[in-house]
Amino acid sequence: MSTQTPDTETESEAEQPSSKPHHERRLAEKRERAETKEAERAAAAQEIKGETVELKVFRFDPEIEGKEEPRFDSFTIPFEKGMTVLDALIYARDQYDSSLTFRHSCRQAVCGSDAFFINGRQQLGCQTQMADLDWPVRVEPLPHQDVVKDLVVEMDHFYDQMEAVDPFFDPDDLPEGELEEQRQSPENRENIKLSTRCIWCGACMSSCNIAAGDNKYLGPAAINKAYRFYMDEREGEQKRQERLEIIEQEHGVWRCQTQFSCTNVCPKDIPLTEHIQELKREAVKQNLKFW
Amino acid sequence: MYEHDVIVVGGGGAGLRAAIAAHEEGADAAIVTKLHPVRSHTGAAEGGINAALREGDSWQDHAYDTMKGADYLSDAPAVDTFAQTAPDEVIQLEHWGMPFSREEDGTVSQRPFGGLSFPRTTYAGAETGHHMLHTLYEQVVKRGIEVYDEWYVSQLAVTDEDDPNERDCHGVVAWDVQSGEVAGFRARDGVILATGGPGQAYDHTTNAVANTGDGVAIAYRAGVPMEDMEMVQFHPTTLPSTGVLISEGVRGEGGILYNSEGERFMFEYGYATNDGELASRDVVARAELTEVAEGRGVEDEYVYLDMRHLGEERITDRLENILHLARDFEGVDGLEEPMPVKPGQHYAMGGIEVDEHGETCIDGLYAAGECACVSLHGANRLGGNALPELIVFGARAGRHAAGADMPEPKIETGPDPDAEREDLGVPLGKPSRTEATTDGGTVEHPDSDPDAIVETAADAERDRIETLLEREDGVNHADVRADLQATMTENVNVFREEDGLKQALADIQEARERYQDVYVADKSRTFNTDLQHTIETRNLLDVAEAITMGALAREEFRGAHWRAEHQERKDDEYLKHTLVSWNDGDPELWYRPVLLEGDEGAYEPKERSY
């Protein structure tokens, strides 16, 4: 299923943790402690600002009754200064519903796991402050990708496109001296610097109208990866030409209509559209394509 | 059942390097990892890669700095091998296209780092780990090495001889997070664990959510000792609200630490009158907490790290990533104001006991990277020494597992029946009542057919998962984990004392009891992270207990390990590693002497001053 189809959403309140006493006293005590802790935490939140924020999260699970049809669940989250969307999701999962599913790992915008569609824009959950958003905050999986469950999308297509551009360094020859590195000018390193920052989060691909309509389009991230190697003065000439041929094919750079949506959503501020344009120029220069 | 020559568990720096090395040795290598490789936490490493590359520097100096930083708890064969091999591995990365920062003549730049006698830290901006991870993954793609991503390895397939030294590892059991399929993975030549650190045992950590010590825990329960687990590094500069790391590169470039009085306390209060901010990490972390304890902290919590005087150009050129981190995760503009910092759990020096080829006492089972303890970092790791460890020992483990001819190791492994056992006098290990969910380590099987061992282990894992999913009510693992993190942060942190450590062990025992009733609320087979995190929490319990056992047993102050009652390093008593063996649920703590005899003679323990 895809996020492009649903309009059958229903609102349902997430179940609060059950307060039914368990047969074992220890468990009951534990729960009591947890409730006290929870109350304290709520009171603390109250003291600061008394603010809570409503988080509306897309839910879907192909094999769980009541979740086979996409819906939105609402969670009431005590707001704290500095809280990110990821913090709010973790709170909702750990306090209300442990089946709430989303990818996340590093919490610092480098692993690229937690790109979501937040209030209608592709952003990393960990890098987005709740305070900077309109409330209630609505979190959906990345559009144009198949949903596996809740906020988890199928990434295989994205990875396939990344791998389609031969995303690896392939020099013609290497220095032979002991411990001798290849030389690279600081200027050339600077030229490729932004392109090397890509964290494979998929936000760009998800934001791209062309990619949505053409499943074979390489997409901004893969073309940027090609740029990273094409522009690297250490890269071998043969591989540069091969890679240029890959990206100037039918579903390559010429598909880009310079709408800048990828550039606008990139969490690492990579000028993706510019890189695509530069590669178009390179393709022309190399007489591989006259347009 | 899937089958390969070498199975690498984990897709970070050590795992990727191991797979490439095994592949180049001619083996059919595959990577099984709970995250896609580029999501691994190697990518968060900022500062750099130490290697003696230039005239005026030498591997001997690098080795000496490493041994001194380690407070003489490292094994010399590991340190020498490391310092000798790091330059080749760094140049190899460069030849694979890693975008290192450069000098005007096009050579790879190097900068000063804490505890180093020469500016030997190569780097790629302040995002060195990201570039190393992606460069290695590119080479994995280039070679067509198979990657099973989002497959969670939850058990090893190890035979059950009484003596762990006699056991064999024939593979692993993993489940496909996306589909719920549980499968055996037969490894014809070897299994290499490269699963990273256990930072989630603490609540303020620079580690990722995925860093749950899985490899350490499954190797431990299969009989491999955990070594020097008490040696946990607390990084002195993490952001107070999230634990996000601010690289030592900031201090390497000239960043200054101030207390609330605006005093440069590293010098003014005599914590490190020579090296100041660039003293070893443990020294700086204790200095910061002492400042806060004595009322000179900001908001009674943190100190300031100031880099404004470096100027916008230099900051943007070399530390740009730091500006983003400070802005996104603390709301601070590093060009305009000092950044608040405090110590946070950062790195485990200890781990799975291995020799200098990465092999454990169990035949066919290897470990490399942060999850392993080859005994390189001893009692304290120097900044810039983690990334080279991944590639040096990742590659060695890969080669050895694939059958390369390597000399006899000098480092001993495996339980030593003659070693003295320490009686800690508190309940440990398996709780009184043990459920199927927390069982498991080795595989009982009448014959030693490897395929049957792997299949039997897979069947046991299917049962264990079914049991967890069938329970309708019980304890949420997140509560157990939160309590564990709280007691570790309270009692097994930078400053440690006997009563607190005993309290932590009691709390861990209680958490183990509660974990017997754990249940998974999510009944789905599809992408069940509730199930995955529940299993991870069990791993954290075992790892946290071993950390605390080591901390209680080691009655001295060495490197990162500080004890209130024992304020000096005791070389007569404690020039030895702590080892913790699972011992089928009845953990034992014992010791093995440190090996100080290196290639250039013996390292002489000296006073460690900066």
What CATH code is carried by the domain that includes residue A269? 1.10.1060.10
Domain boundary among A119, A153, A187: A153
Q: Is residue B185 part of a domain?
A: yes
Burial, A250: exposed, middle or buried (Cβ in 10 Å; 0-12, 13-18, 19+)? exposed
User: Quick one: pLDDT at residue B440?
Assistant: 59
User: Quick one: pLDDT at residue B469?
Assistant: 93
Q: Is the peptide bond before A136 cis (omega within 30 degrees of 0)?
A: yes
Q: Spell out the alpha helix ranges (H) of B222-359.
A: 249-252, 265-268, 281-293, 312-330
Q: Which amino acid is at B507?
A: D
Residue B397 maps to which CATH number?
3.50.50.60
Tell me how far CA of residue A93 lies from CA of A64, B477, B511, B555, in angstroms: 17, 12, 21, 41
Testing the interface with B: which of A18, A40, A148, A168 to mutate, by most B Cβ within 10 A? A168
Residues of A in contact with B44 (CB under 8 A): 106, 108, 110-111
Instruction: Look up residue B224 and give its two tokens.
Output: 């491999």
Would the CA dihedral through B128, B131, B137, B143 be positive or negative? negative
Beta-carbon separation of B474 and A189 below 8 A: no
Evaluate whether B247 touches B126 at the Cβ level (below 8 Å): yes
User: Quick one: pLDDT at residue A17?
Assistant: 43
Please provide residue B228's backbone torsions phi and psi, each rounded to the nearest 5 degrees: 50, 40
Name which of B203, B189, B210 is nearest B33 in CA terms. Answer: B210
Q: Is residue A179 part of a domain?
A: yes
In 3-state terms, what secondary structure has residue B392?
helix
Confidence of residue A15 (pLDDT cuts 50, 70, 90): very low
Q: Based on the fold, state whether residues A45 and A76 are members of the same structural domain.
A: yes
Q: Based on the fold, state whether residues B315 and B290 are members of the same structural domain.
A: yes
Measure the CA dihedral A48/A50/A56/A61, to 10°. 80
Q: Based on the fold, state whether residues B264 and B130 are members of the same structural domain.
A: no
Q: Based on the fold, state whether residues B407 and B329 are members of the same structural domain.
A: no
Q: Based on the fold, state whether residues A178 and A251 are members of the same structural domain.
A: yes
Instruction: Look up residue B195 and give its two tokens.
Output: 């699963």
Confidence of residue B249 (pLDDT cuts 50, 70, 90): confident
Helix (H) or strand (E) holding B188: strand B182-193
Q: Based on the fold, state whether residues A200 and A138 are members of the same structural domain.
A: no
Residue of B nearest to A229 (CA): B97
Q: Based on the fold, state whether residues B94 and B180 are members of the same structural domain.
A: yes
Q: Check pLDDT > 60 for residue B486.
A: yes
- ipTM of the predicted structure? 0.93
- DSSP code of A92? H
Q: Based on the fold, state whether residues A79 and A38 are members of the same structural domain.
A: yes
User: Quick one: pLDDT at residue B431?
Assistant: 72
- For B382, half-sphere exposure in the C-beta direction (CA atoms, 13 angstrom radius) is 35
**Tokens 């001889």 sit on residue:** B161
Domain boundary among B388, B415, B442: B415
Q: Based on the fold, state whether residues A175 and A125 are members of the same structural domain.
A: no
Domain boundary among B380, B415, B450: B415
Flag whether residue A171 sits within 8 Å of chain B, measured between CB atoms. yes
Residues 6+ apart with CB under 8 A from B333: B323, B326, B327
Chain-centroid distance of CA B135 in Å reads 21
Q: Check pLDDT > 80 for residue B433.
A: no
Beta-carbon separation of B527 and A101 below 8 A: yes
Chain-centroid distance of CA A244 in Å reads 27
Identity of the residue in A27, A148, A159 whose CB atom sits nearest the CB atom of B517: A27
Q: How much is the average pLDDT of B313-330?
A: 89
Evaluate whether B218 touches B153 at the Cβ level (below 8 Å): yes
Q: Based on the fold, state whether residues B267 and B378 are members of the same structural domain.
A: no
In 3-state terms, what secondary structure has residue B212?
coil
Q: Based on the fold, state whether residues B104 and B132 are members of the same structural domain.
A: yes
Beta-carbon separation of A168 and B141 below 8 A: yes
Residues 6+ apart with CB under 8 A from B523: A64, B469
Q: Based on the fold, state whether residues A192 and A83 are members of the same structural domain.
A: no
Confidence of residue A1 (pLDDT cuts 50, 70, 90): very low
Alpha-carbon span B70 to A108, nearest angstrom: 29
Longest dimension (CA), chain A: 79
User: Quick one: pLDDT at residue B363?
Assistant: 97
Q: How much is the average pLDDT of B326-353?
A: 94
CB contacts under 8 A, A 16-75 vs B, are 22, 24, 26-27, 30, 34, 61-64
Alpha-carbon span B569 to B561, nearest angstrom: 10
Q: Based on the fold, state whether residues A37 and A106 are members of the same structural domain.
A: yes
Identity of the residue in A34, A64, A185 whose CB atom sits nearest the CB atom of B523: A64
Separation in Å, CA of A1 to nearest CA in chain B: 14
Residue B213 CB coordination number (10 Å) = 32
Mean pLDDT over the full length of chain B: 95
Q: Based on the fold, state whether residues B144 and B169 are members of the same structural domain.
A: yes
Alpha-carbon span B529 to B520, nearest angstrom: 10
Identity of the residue in A105, A167, A183 whose CB atom sits nearest the CB atom of B107: A183
Q: Check pLDDT > 90 for residue B54.
A: yes
Residue of B nearest to A234 (CA): B97
Confidence of residue A19 (pLDDT cuts 50, 70, 90): very low
Testing the interface with A: which of B526, B528, B535 to mutate, by most A Cβ within 10 A? B526
Mean pLDDT over the full length of chain A: 87
Testing the interface with B: which of A29, A67, A111, A149 to mutate, by most B Cβ within 10 A? A111
Residues 6+ apart with CB under 8 A from B299: none
Helix (H) or strand (E) holding B220: helix B214-221
Q: Based on the fold, state whether residues B244 and B162 are members of the same structural domain.
A: no
Q: Based on the fold, state whether residues B363 and B331 are members of the same structural domain.
A: no
Evaluate whether B193 touches B359 at the Cβ level (below 8 Å): no
Chain-centroid distance of CA B610 in Å reads 25
Which residues of B are part of the catalytic machinery? Answer: 235, 251
Beta-carbon separation of B138 and A168 below 8 A: yes
Beta-carbon separation of A192 and B521 below 8 A: no
Question: What is the Cα gyration radius of chain A?
Answer: 24
Q: Is residue A4 part of a domain?
A: no
User: Quick one: pLDDT at residue A8?
Assistant: 37
Evaluate whether A225 touches A198 at the Cβ level (below 8 Å): yes
Q: How much is the average pLDDT of B59-73?
A: 97
Beta-carbon separation of B524 and A63 below 8 A: yes
Q: Is residue A136 part of a domain?
A: yes
Q: Is residue B570 part of a domain?
A: no
Evaluate whether A206 touches A143 at the Cβ level (below 8 Å): yes
User: Quick one: pLDDT at residue A3?
Assistant: 44
Name which of A239, A250, A138, A155 is nearest A205 in CA terms. Answer: A155
Q: Check pLDDT > 50 for residue B596.
A: yes
Q: Which domain holds residue B15?
A: 2-232+346-415
Beta-carbon separation of A197 and B127 below 8 A: yes
Flag whether residue A196 sits within 8 Å of chain B, measured between CB atoms. yes
- DSSP code of B97? T
Confidence of residue A110 (pLDDT cuts 50, 70, 90): very high
Q: Which domain holds residue A103?
A: 11-153
Q: How much is the average pLDDT of B530-539?
A: 96
Q: Is residue B209 part of a domain?
A: yes
Q: Based on the fold, state whether residues A106 and A198 are members of the same structural domain.
A: no
Q: Based on the fold, state whether residues B59 and B184 are members of the same structural domain.
A: yes
Q: Check pLDDT > 60 for residue B420.
A: yes
Testing the interface with A: which of B527, B534, B537 to mutate, by most A Cβ within 10 A? B527
Q: Is residue A5 part of a domain?
A: no
User: Quick one: pLDDT at residue B434?
Assistant: 58
Residues of B in contact with A105 (CB under 8 A): 35, 39, 41, 208-210
Testing the interface with A: which of B34, B53, B84, B94 to mutate, by most A Cβ within 10 A? B94
Separation in Å, CA of A154 to nearest CA in chain B: 9
Residues 6+ apart with CB under 8 A from B582: B220, B221, B223, B429, B441, B542
Residues of A in contact with B100 (CB under 8 A): 181, 184, 189
Residue of A nearest to B136 (CA): A168
Q: How much is the average pLDDT of B215-219?
A: 97
Q: Check pLDDT > 50 for residue B313.
A: yes
Q: Is residue B451 part of a domain?
A: no
Q: Based on the fold, state whether residues A194 and A272 are members of the same structural domain.
A: yes
In 3-state terms, what secondary structure has residue B282?
helix
User: Quick one: pLDDT at residue A9?
Assistant: 40
Q: Check pLDDT > 90 for residue A2.
A: no
Beta-carbon separation of B242 and A179 below 8 A: no
Q: Is residue B265 part of a domain?
A: yes
Q: Check pLDDT > 80 for residue B214.
A: yes
Identity of the residue in B94, B473, B520 whose CB atom sits nearest the CB atom of A181: B94
As for how many domains chain A has, the answer is 2
**Tokens 């906020």 sit on residue:** A151
Helix (H) or strand (E) holding B135: helix B128-143
- For B158, half-sphere exposure in the C-beta direction (CA atoms, 13 angstrom radius) is 29
Domain boundary among A153, A180, A211: A153
Burial, A210: exposed, middle or buried (Cβ in 10 Å; 0-12, 13-18, 19+)? middle
Confidence of residue A287 (pLDDT cuts 50, 70, 90): low
Flag whether residue A174 sits within 8 Å of chain B, measured between CB atoms. yes
Q: Check pLDDT > 50 for residue A13.
A: no
Residue A174 CB coordination number (10 Å) = 15
Name which of B366, B381, B372, B379 is nearest B352 in CA terms. Answer: B372
Flag whether residue A148 sits within 8 Å of chain B, measured between CB atoms. yes
Q: Is residue A189 part of a domain?
A: yes
Residue A62 maps to which CATH number?
3.10.20.30
Instruction: Look up residue A190 and give its two tokens.
Output: 């600077």
Residues of A in contact with B138 (CB under 8 A): 167-169
Measure the CA dihedral B60/B62/B66/B68, to 10°. 60
Longest dimension (CA), chain B: 70
Alpha-carbon span B89 to B386, nearest angstrom: 13
Flag whether residue A164 sits within 8 Å of chain B, measured between CB atoms. no
Confidence of residue A23 (pLDDT cuts 50, 70, 90): very low
Q: How much is the average pLDDT of B174-195?
A: 97
Please provide residue A22's backbone torsions phi and psi, each rounded to the nearest 5 degrees: -80, 160
pLDDT tens column, A237-268: 999 999 999 999 999 999 999 999 999 999 99
Beta-carbon separation of A232 and B96 below 8 A: no
Residues of B in contact with A229 (CB under 8 A): 97
Q: Based on the fold, state whether residues A219 and A275 are members of the same structural domain.
A: yes
Q: Based on the fold, state whether residues A148 and A185 are members of the same structural domain.
A: no
Identity of the residue in A102, A105, A229 whose CB atom sits nearest the CB atom of B35: A105
Q: Based on the fold, state whether residues B332 and B351 are members of the same structural domain.
A: no
Domain boundary among A114, A129, A153: A153
Q: Is residue A77 part of a domain?
A: yes
Beta-carbon separation of B523 and A27 below 8 A: no
Q: Check pLDDT > 80 for residue A49.
A: no
Q: Is residue B317 part of a domain?
A: yes
Q: Based on the fold, state whether residues A91 and A165 are members of the same structural domain.
A: no
Q: Is residue A3 part of a domain?
A: no
As for how many domains chain B has, the answer is 2
Alpha-carbon span A287 to B575, nearest angstrom: 69
Evaluate whether B29 touches B398 at the Cβ level (below 8 Å): yes
Q: Check pLDDT > 50 for residue A16.
A: no
Measure the CA dihedral B495/B498/B503/B504, to 10°. 50
Q: Is residue B590 part of a domain?
A: no
Going along B330-396, which residue ranges are E strands? 339-348, 351-353, 365-367, 372-373
Q: How much is the average pLDDT of B424-436?
A: 74
Residue that wins the pLDDT comparison between A65 and B360: B360
Q: Based on the fold, state whether residues B325 and B372 are members of the same structural domain.
A: no
Residues of B in contact with A199 (CB under 8 A): 38, 43, 130
Q: Which amino acid is at B265?
A: F
Alpha-carbon span B374 to B389, nearest angstrom: 10
Q: Check pLDDT > 80 for residue A5.
A: no
Identity of the residue in B39, B130, B473 whose CB atom sits nearest the CB atom of A113: B39
Q: Is residue A149 part of a domain?
A: yes
Domain boundary among B283, B314, B345: B345
Q: How much is the average pLDDT of B76-94?
A: 98
Beta-carbon separation of A30 and B513 below 8 A: no
Reported pTM:
0.93
Residue of A nearest to B138 (CA): A168
**Tokens 């003696």 sit on residue:** B52
Beta-carbon separation of A193 and B522 below 8 A: no
**Tokens 């014992």 sit on residue:** B590
Residue that wins the pLDDT comparison between B282 and B31: B31
Q: Is residue B425 part of a domain?
A: no
User: Quick one: pLDDT at residue A28?
Assistant: 58
Separation in Å, CA of A209 to nearest CA in chain B: 26
Alpha-carbon span B231 to B379, nearest angstrom: 5
Flag whether residue A181 sits within 8 Å of chain B, measured between CB atoms. yes
Q: Which amino acid is at B470?
A: E
Beta-carbon separation of A169 and B135 below 8 A: yes
Confidence of residue A48 (pLDDT cuts 50, 70, 90): very low
Residues of A in contact with B130 (CB under 8 A): 110, 197, 199
Q: How much is the average pLDDT of B475-494?
A: 96
pLDDT tens column, A185-231: 999 999 999 999 999 999 999 999 999 999 999 999 999 999 999 99
Separation in Å, CA of B141 to nearest CA in chain A: 8
